[in-house]
Structure 1
């Protein structure tokens, strides 16, 4: 094996190792999310952990629907976005509030975190889920609950603000 062949082989090995590390990291994050939801909801909430491609599609759809500021928050001043600010006590009433605005809260929603690359979780918006939202948020700094079909979002931001937005 000459020098060029050795360098090429080394490059291939390093690339394969890097891909394996990326895959292992993704699997670890999927397991963290799955374990968290199972622990918090004791398997009573039906969930689906999305793979990277599906998660990227959901987050891409979200950022294409709602304007995102450079500090990774919805830019409520831009675009045609309606906003309703909530306090912590109102969280359990979110399904009723959305229903009063004409939204069908039985459609699937996707939960994802604003930082890091945890996978999206497909589930339903229930008062049971919202009653334990503090247990879910700790995995990342900010949490978004997004419904692409109904075009609404619930933003749990790290400054303790909670907002519902819709287009």
Structure 2
């Protein structure tokens, strides 16, 4: 079983795997919402409202302070281009975050409806920001 398959399994029934055409649409939305460096990282100094976080509580606090009612439905996007994008519940992703981040080096949790992204960089740095 691959790390992706294990991730899908632990996320349970509230996970949706997107087809290639849907994946492209989500990526287009993601890339038009946030500026990226040439090496594939969000260019945080061009995102006016962002912060580095160390805990789930800090992420929730940021969301509560900056968004009246944020969406718990998010897309999980990995830096490995051959992997599908999945949709899941933010709370569930946090419960199994080690399984989610094990799939690939860098991971983004993106909510287009609420306009936030959480970037989990392979060096351990985690940032959250608003478009």
* TM over 0.5, shorter chain: yes
- Equivalence for 1:33: 4
How far, CA to CA, are the matches of 2:68 and 2:97 in structure 1? 21
TM-score computed with the length of structure 2 as normaliser: 0.86
How far, CA to CA, are the matches of 1:35 and 1:147 in structure 2? 23
Question: What is the root-mean-square deviation in Å for CA atoms of aligned residues?
Answer: 2.0
Structure whose CA Rg is larger: 1
1:104 aligns with 2:69: yes
Structure 1 residue runs of 4 or more that deviate by more than 6 Å after TM superposition: none
Q: Which runs of 5+ in 2 are unaligned?
A: none
Equivalent of 2:112, from 141, 148, 154? 148
More relative contact order in 1 or in 2 (CA 8 Å, sep 6+)? 2
Aligned residues: 130
Please state which structure has a larger fraction of its residues in helix: 1
TM-score computed with the length of structure 1 as normaliser: 0.69
Q: Which runs of 5+ in 1 are unaligned?
A: 1-30
- Equivalence for 2:50: 83
Please state which structure has a larger fraction of its residues in strand: 2
- Equivalence for 1:138: 102
How far, CA to CA, are the matches of 1:99 and 1:158 in structure 2? 26
Deviation at 1:68, TM superposition (A): 0.5
Deviation at 1:101, TM superposition (A): 1.5
Deviation at 1:117, TM superposition (A): 2.1
